[in-house]
Chain A
Amino acid sequence: MTARAGALGLAAALAVALALPFVVSNFRLFQFTQVGVYAIALLGLNVLTGYNGQISLGHGAFYALGAYTTAILIDHWNVPYPLTIIAAGVLCLVAGFLFGIPALRLEGLYLALATFALALAIPQILKYFEHWTGGSQGIVLSKPAPPWGMKASPDQWLYYFTLAVLVILFVLARNLLAGRTGRAIVAIRDNPIAAQAMGVNTALYKSLTFGVSAAYTGVAGALSAIVIAFVAPDAFNVFLSITFLTGVVIGGLASISGAIFGALFIQFVPNWAQDISKAAPWAIYGVFLIGFMYVMPFGIAGALRRVAARAARRGTAARA
């Protein structure tokens, strides 16, 4: 019953997503593209933190790595932008896997601190390699034109392009998490000793999960560079990493759809807060945050699941 509700919800969401460019302004559409980009980043972080139980306060660093990979490849070598996204994903996969190895020695808050250090360091590292990164000025790109002589604005094209990447990555993540690998990933979070006793190579799985997580976030960063057509080091500050973690928790830990809800939250709620009070938008945002966590302790996805389950029960009761 809830499975059918989920399938219906998914179909509806896809229909809305496909129709969106015809009903909203170019600026709004750009914001929704950003939601798609964030959703990919949040899904990556959620695989690591929600499913595998490794807390990262530094995923902004992988987002930056992906963004700069794309920007540098386009700016210096004119590499076609779809290829740069793949390159960013692969590079972040390797970087995440390598970071995941020393991270094996760190649990919980200690891992959070180590990743936090990564987030702290990244803007300055980017400024340091000025020749490649353009220093504080960053790199300006141009928005790609739609291919195949499509009659669409660049913003419309980038929206659909991002949506396509998002759908592919969400399907892959769902497959990964639904089967043998996903069970092992969650088993490690729930009880690492028992997981080991069942034959799960916990060290390898944790490092690989870190790699996959970083790859998703890196692809999101690469997309953001293309969508915004600009990268600069100060956009990838500590606050970005914390925003990602906020999005994951608000959307719903260990939930795939939660990544979408979390992305909507981190994209739009700061704007609403701004609309409500120009003087103290972050205070308003803070109230929103606390309110959400109070009303939906398992995130938006968790709350929806509960509503669907209740409706299903009522449905069966009514028929009985």
Chain B
Amino acid sequence: MPAPGTPILSVRDLTVRFGGIVALDGVSFDVSEGQIVGLIGPNGAGKTTLFNCLSRLYTPQRGDISFRDRSLLALPAHRIAELGIGRTFQNLALFPTLTVLQNVMVGVHARTRSDFLSNALRLPWVRREEEETRERARELLAFLDLEVLAAHPAAGLPFGTLKRVELARALASRPALLLVDEPAGGLNHEEVGALAALLRVIRERRGVTILLVEHHMGLVMQISDTVVVLDFGRKIAEGPPARVQRDPEVIRAYLGVDEPAGARR
């Protein structure tokens, strides 16, 4: 593993337009190996759009993204997971008819090789691969306290639970960089505390660098090493949480003039 501090991800001058809307406007920042970076900004600031660029679902009009010194823009979306970038979705993007276990097993897809023919013939190495996939998925279900739901279809589970299933699925590909889009959505105070601990464990024990989009200021400020602030597609601040929290531009643009940073939700 490269030394902590070297950038694992570099976003340079990223610009995305949807018709007349400029969703991202020349955004640049780095994410260092081993860090938790918070990405914040009011609704519509362009955070999810940035994630979608990183997973190659959107193609920016300008700028570049490099991951471990390799440009992502040359790759199609389905090659991103195998490079080591995993993600969750703000509004959930699970496979509703698959069970919780199967959802997480799909997450292992990027790390497995068997194809149509070898699967149809169920060759011995395919059986082994399948066994390892199941093992890995089960381990993640245990890690995220989802074991009892293994055989339950993803459809019909509570939002907070599904968010954890997404996290398990994202971790299944053994990402070096994890993108999490509003993981605290719909959680109560206690659950947010548990989530903070969980993200820390993911970083510390699994060595995963995390880029975290979140509205819950308490959570972001508590666990981020660095915070990047977007407003109307533009980066307006970047730095350690304590400094960003005091930044007058951030207070004005994001939090409302008289409100102290910690007060929002």
Residues of A within 8 A of B (CB): 172-173, 175-176, 179-184, 186-187, 189-191, 193-202, 208, 212, 254
Contact = CB atoms under 8 A, between A and B. Distances in A.
B98 A197 contact: no
Given A175-B121, A179-B130, A183-B98, A194 B115 contact: no
Contacts of A208: 116
Given A176-B116, A179-B126, A197-B55, A186 B95 contact: yes
What 4 pairs between A and B have smallest CB-CB spacing? A199-B110, A194-B93, A199-B81, A190-B95
Given A182-B119, A208-B116, A197 B105 contact: no
Given A173-B120, A182-B119, A193-B93, 18 more contacts: A176-B120, A179-B114, A179-B130, A183-B98, A186-B95, A191-B95, A196-B77, A197-B55, A197-B77, A197-B89, A198-B106, A198-B173, A199-B78, A199-B81, A199-B82, A200-B109, A202-B78, A212-B116
Contact of B116 (A181, A189, A198, A202): A181
B121 A183 contact: no
Nearest to A208: B116
Contacts of A184: 106, 109
Contacts of B110: 198-199
Contacts of A195: 95, 106
A196 B78 CA distance: 5
A39 B89 CA distance: 40
A199 B173 contact: yes
Interface in B115-143: 115-116, 119-122, 126, 129-130, 133
Given A181-B115, A190-B96, A198-B173, A175 B78 contact: no
B122 A175 contact: yes
A186 B80 CA distance: 20
27 contacts: A173-B120, A175-B122, A176-B119, A179-B119, A179-B122, A179-B126, A180-B114, A180-B119, A181-B119, A181-B120, A183-B105, A186-B95, A186-B97, A187-B106, A191-B93, A191-B95, A194-B95, A197-B57, A197-B77, A197-B81, A198-B106, A198-B169, A199-B109, A199-B173, A200-B106, A201-B76, A208-B116
B38 interface: no
B211 interface: no
Contacts of A212: 116
A201 B122 CA distance: 21
Interface in B182-236: none
Nearest to B123: A175
B95 A187 contact: yes
B87 interface: yes
Contacts of A183: 98, 102, 105-106, 109
Contacts of A199: 78-82, 109-110, 173
Contacts of A176: 116, 119-120
Max chain B CB contacts within 10 Å: which of A181, A194, A254? A194
Nearest to A183: B106
Nearest to A177: B119
B23 interface: no
B34 interface: no
B119 A190 contact: no
B107 interface: yes
Contact of A180 (B79, B94, B133, B169): B133
